[in-house]
Every structure is written in structure tokens, then in C-alpha cells.
Structure 1
Amino acid sequence: MTDYAKTRGLMARGAEFLGSEYAIMCGAMSWVSERNLVSAMSNAGGFGVIACGAMTPDLLDTEIAETRKLTDKPFGVNLITMHPQLMELIEVCGKHGVTHVVLAGGIPPKGSVEAIKGHGAKVIVFAPTLALAKKLLRSGGDALVIEGMEAGGHIGPVSTSVLAQEFLPALSEDHLVFVAGGIGRGEAMAGYLEMGAVGVQLGTRFACATESIAHPDFKKAFFRANARDAVASVQVDARLPVIPVRALKNKGTEEFTAKQREVAGVLDREEIAMAEAQLQIEHYWAGALRRAVIDGDVENGSLMAGQSVGMVKEEEPVADIIAALMAESEAALTRR
């Protein structure tokens, strides 16, 4: 057994912050990042994160309680900033003593960061630009995730490698920065750690783990896919600022384009407000994702996947995936 001394040394600050053995976070994937995968991740020495998504406070309450039954290790909860019941969800996290809350999907609304910190939890934020990253860290963010456009699900326009070169030299000395997007092997992880990251976040690599409840047909679609099959959605109306979503090409990606046209038409007729229009798009994704992950409808559902999907070839236990990442990273750092 190796102790991965070089890799552990580079991720020591991140591991201490998370309270985990390794500073490897599992990205919050709606319907996938639930009690089974989250607990497996934390039990294997990584850091699991529950994807709250569109859950109600009652559903999140149950999910956290059930996850606690499966692990005594720390895990986090990812909350979407535009959720209409965000403050109630924060209260649920506080009630259960959740140690880390990840705020995703936009600038945290007034009072949300303070509410999380009031419960003694750490706040992890996302930022697409360096200026916003600095602002969020000044405003109470304890750590930052920079996520490149190679990632699955909602994405920004800039690649991970460019974000890392821009953010890490400016922030890594004084702040905790995790890198995400397109990471499928330990060699890439080692490179970002050397640049100053304190850890990494991977989603696609864990989506088809043995412990993932994703439907067997969903997993098979991942095993068949290569990097170029994971494409970003197209925005059809400039008034509808839809954040692009990366997923495997299928009928569902075409249906989303049609859905945008439908919502744009309703906007044209002034039948709904812009905020409601955006919420309709979010609800579309939640439903489409469930069809693929839970029901196994890989034709019409949303197969959200990052470009690292080509490196996912079989079902593996979470512990084996983490061990492989650490071994690859250690070998790469030893070769330097």
C-alpha cells in the first residue's frame, strides 16, 4: 500500500478544510448524488455532496437523515441559489449540522451566506470570473470551485485549463481553490495541485460508480460515449439567458431546443415574466434528467455528462476510482 505522500502533501489544506482523507469532491449531480453515492464517496475517503436541485425542504431533510445513517464522515449539500425556498433549505442543513454547503447557480442572495455560517457550516462558492471570485470570497465564501466548460451539466464558456491559469496564481496563496471540469485521471489532478489547487471535483467519473443508483441503461450510454458525444446545448433566444448544459447527444437535446422556442413564444405573448420563463427551463432539465437517470430513458431524457465521459468504461466501486486517481497522481508527481 502506498501512502500517496506527494499527492497528500499538495492536497493537505483541502483535505483539512473538507475533513476528509483526500481532497477529492464528488460533483453534485441531480438524481445521482443522493444518499448511496454520497455516503460511498465519504466512506472511501473522498467528499460526497448531496445534490439538492429542485428538492423541497422536506425531501432534503429526509435525504440528509438517510445519508447520515450510511456514513459518519463529513459530506456537503449543494443548494441552487435561485431555489425559491433557499432559506428554508439552509435551515434544514443547519438542523442536521451539515458541515459544508455549496452554493451554485448564481450570486448567493442577500443573507444566505450569513445564514449558513450562522449554523457553523463552511460555504463553498462557484465563480465564472476572477473579479466575482474575489467578491464572493470577501463576502464570506470559505472556498471556491472553478469549473471549466468541459464539465457536465450547467457550464460556463471558458475551459478548465484557462480558468486554472487565471485564478490559481491570483488566489491560491490566500484562498482554498478546487478545480473541476474535464478531470478523468490522476495525472490531470496532479497538474492542478501543482499549480496551487487544494483539491479537485469530479462528477462524470463517479456517475457510473457501482454505488450510483443511475439506471443500467444510463450507465451503458456513458460506457459507449466518447468526448465528442458530450455536447453543449444551444441558446435559441437572446432574451432567455439559458445557461448551456453539456450532455450526450440524443433526442432529448433536440427537445430542449424546441422547449426554448416554446417558452420564448410565451414570452413574446407576454403571458409570463422572465423569472418564470427561466424557472420553466430549470424544471424541464430536472424532469429530463430524472427520465434518463431513474427511468433509463436514454433517448428522451437528459444524459448530462462531461467531456471526460470517454474515460468512463465500466462500473467500478467509488473506493477503486479514488485509489486509481491517487495512484495516477502520485506516479505523475514522482516522475517529475
Structure 2
Amino acid sequence: MTDQRGRARLDELWRRGCEFLGTRHAILGGAMTWVSERNLVSSISNAGGFGVIACGSMSPDLLDMEIRATRALTDQPFGVNLITMHPDLEDLIAVCREREVGHVVLAGGLPPGKAIDAVKAYGARLICFTPALGLAKKLVRSGVDALVIEGSEAGGHIGPVSTAVLAQEILPHIRDVPVFVAGGIGRGEAIAMYLELGASGVQLGTRFVCATESIAHPAFKKAFIRANARDAMPSVQVDKRFPVIPVRALANAATEAFMDTQRELVARFQAGQIDQQAAQLEIEHFWAGALRRAVIEGDVEHGSLMAGQSVGMVTAEQPTADIIAELVDQAAAALAGR
């Protein structure tokens, strides 16, 4: 009876998110470049969650192929995450339209009005990220259908504010559209907490990296399983004249090399051996290809091990269905006693 009460409460709390996504559980898979491809995306959707393809730097042709390949593996809803800075953004949206993708996520910056209009024009539901309440309100006015608030505990590129603070700042004031919470979520008890605060669902990335269906290299998965929360650190900026967008990843040899590279370039700039623009470009290019080296090739020393602080709760390789069932059971159990 207690279990039934918890499940009923969970169903009630995330009903809006489930209806928006068309899923059994309001759990989105975070779009992780090289990881969130057809195999993981389809397994999340088949398990009742909502898989999201990470387009990243894919060309329109590659995205078209990935959507079709994912459709061959699942008949359940899934979405596509597009980076707003992609030079072919309009063409990528056109691919989503042609393939009748029902949900599009625009990430990596403020979405251009033209992109918002293009997604809305063909009838897809548009999801965007917001790092602050003011921007959340602006996005809703622009016609965005749902929001994701992602705190600094997340992996990859991060903002400065924690998930818990963002949730308190935004959830009480945004009621017009569903809001999904992301960043640092590794257990169902946290899902229950954010739902009770007013979220319509959650998004998890790090928790799915070691799914059996994930194509991440065994060495990459092993690094996650061995890591704890303190190992997932944001990249450090050496000199304010050369800004670095923080990226949270597991510390390794590449982390130290990045620091050394920044120091060397700053010294060369101060000595007049290189201009500021060229130095900034070298800093920004340091990580080019580093994520693929780690995820696909298994170079966990010199590649980028992007991971959220919830990595400490990744303790084994598991089928995606088991991960989602575990999260749902934990959330229902937490709600049963309240």
C-alpha cells in the first residue's frame, strides 16, 4: 500500500512533464556529445524516459542519418538537441522538420528569434535552457514551450549557480510552461524533492554514461565508476584577460596540461611573442577533439572526461531500464512517507 501511495503521488507530480514529453516517466536524458547517440537515446525512450540526440557539430546529413537510425531502434518519443552557435542551425532545424521530430532542444546560448520561429512553425515543441529567472520569463514570452534549469553541479559547460538555488529562484515563478531540473541529480530522492518544489520533471546525463547501451569506451566508463564527486572539477581560468568558459570534468593529465598551456600563452603574450586574439584562439582550441579521444578512443589521460558531480553515484555499468526503474523506485519510496 505504501508503494502504491508513493507511485500515485509520483504520477501526480510529474503528470504535466509526462504529458508534455509523451512518456511514462518525466526523465530526459541529457544531450552528451558522442554519448547521446542512437543506442543510448533509444534505450532511454524504450525504458519510458525521453532520449535526446546530441547533435553537437554534426552536419545536417549526419543528423538526418542519426534520427533515422534512432527511429529504427524505438517507436517511442525522443528529441534532438541543437547548439545555437552551429553555423548550419537553420539547415539542422530543417532536417528536424523533414523527419518530424516532435521536440527540439536549443542549447549553448540564447536562441535566435529566427530559430525559435522555425521550430515553432512546423509544430515541434521547443525546449530551452535558462540560467536565471529574468531570461526564463523572456523565453516564455518568446514562445518557448518548456524550460530546463541546469545548475553548476552538471557536467560539461556550466554556469556559476547551483541547481538547488536555481530551483528556488525559478520554480515558484514559472508556471506557464513545464520546467525540468538538471545538474547533480543521481538518485530518485532528489527527483522527488524537485518535483515537490514545482518541477515537471528532471534531466540526467552523468547517470546514463555507464548504461550498458552507452557506446562510451570501457576505459571512459571505468573512470566514471572509480570517481567521486570531488573528482569532477570545473576548468580554471588563469588570467582574466583570456576568459575560459568553465567545463566540469574529471581531473586528469589533460587538466594540468590545459593550465600549463594557459600559463605559457600568457607569458608569450606578455613577452610580445603572440597577440591577444591568437593566444585566446589557442586556448579555445586546446580541447578540440579531446572529448572524442576520451569517449570513443578511451584516452582517459589526455582526453576530456566531462562529468557532473553526481558521478560519485555511478557505481556500476547497468542497463538503462534498470537505471530508470531504480530512480523511479527511489522517488516513489521517498514520496510514500510524506
Shorter-chain TM range is over 0.9
Q: 1:188 aligns with which of 173, 187, 190?
A: 190
Q: d(CA) in 2 for partners of 1:238 and 1:195?
A: 37
Q: Which has the larger radius of gyration?
A: 2
Closer, same or farther in 2 for the Cα pair 1:28/1:261, shift >3 Å?
farther
Q: CA deviation at 1:15?
A: 0.6
Q: d(CA) in 1 for partners of 2:76 and 2:265?
A: 43
Letter in 1 for 2:125: K
Q: d(CA) in 1 for partners of 2:276 and 2:318?
A: 50
Whether 2:47 is the aligned partner of 1:41: answer: no
Q: CA deviation at 1:270?
A: 5.7
State the match for 2:332 in structure 1. 330
Q: d(CA) in 2 for partners of 1:50 and 1:74?
A: 11
Q: 1:89 aligns with which of 89, 92, 98?
A: 92
Q: d(CA) in 1 for partners of 2:276 and 2:301?
A: 33
State the match for 1:305 in structure 2. 307
The equivalences for 1:282-293 within 5 A come to 284-293=286-295
Whether 2:12 is the aligned partner of 1:6: answer: no
State the match for 1:232 in structure 2. 234
State the match for 1:251 in structure 2. 253
Q: Deviations over 1:158-185 (max 9, x none)?
A: 11111111101111x3221000000000
Q: d(CA) in 1 for partners of 2:260 and 2:79?
A: 35
Q: Secondary structure at the match of 1:111?
A: helix
The equivalences for 1:78-117 within 5 A come to 78-117=81-120
Closer, same or farther in 2 for the Cα pair 1:228/1:324, shift >3 Å?
same
TM-score, normalised relative to structure 2: 0.93
Q: Unpaired segments of 5 or more residues in structure 2? A: none
Q: d(CA) in 2 for partners of 1:14 and 1:259?
A: 44
Q: Deviations over 1:261-309 (max 9, x none)?
A: 67776896266597xx39x72x654511100000000000011111110
Letter in 1 for 2:7: Y
Determine if contact 2:265/2:279 at 8 Å carries over to the other structure.
no
Q: Secondary structure at the match of 1:246?
A: strand
Q: 1:158 aligns with which of 156, 161, 169?
A: 161
Q: d(CA) in 2 for partners of 1:52 and 1:10?
A: 31
State the match for 2:317 in structure 1. 315
Q: d(CA) in 2 for partners of 1:324 and 1:134?
A: 34
Q: d(CA) in 2 for partners of 1:206 and 1:17?
A: 22
Alpha-carbon RMSD: 2.1
Q: Which moved more, 1:21-30 or 1:232-241?
A: 232-241
Q: d(CA) in 1 for partners of 2:113 and 2:330?
A: 42
Letter in 2 for 1:142: D
Closer, same or farther in 2 for the Cα pair 1:169/1:271, shift >3 Å?
closer
Moved over 4 A (4+): 258-268, 270-274
Q: Deviations over 1:106-128 (max 9, x none)?
A: 11123000011112111111111
Q: Deviations over 1:209-246 (max 9, x none)?
A: 00000000000001110000000001234344432100
TM-score, normalised relative to structure 1: 0.93
Q: Unpaired segments of 5 or more residues in structure 1? A: none
Q: 1:28 aligns with which of 23, 31, 39?
A: 31
State the match for 2:275 in structure 1. 269
Q: 1:143 aligns with which of 139, 142, 146?
A: 146
Closer, same or farther in 2 for the Cα pair 1:175/1:234, shift >3 Å?
same
- How many aligned positions are there? 331
Q: d(CA) in 2 for partners of 1:140 and 1:132?
A: 13
Q: CA deviation at 1:260?
A: 4.7
Determine if contact 1:235/1:241 at 8 Å carries over to the other structure.
yes
Closer, same or farther in 2 for the Cα pair 1:112/1:240, shift >3 Å?
farther
Q: d(CA) in 2 for partners of 1:121 and 1:260?
A: 42
State the match for 1:56 in structure 2. 59
Q: Secondary structure at the match of 2:172?
A: helix
Q: CA deviation at 1:136?
A: 1.1
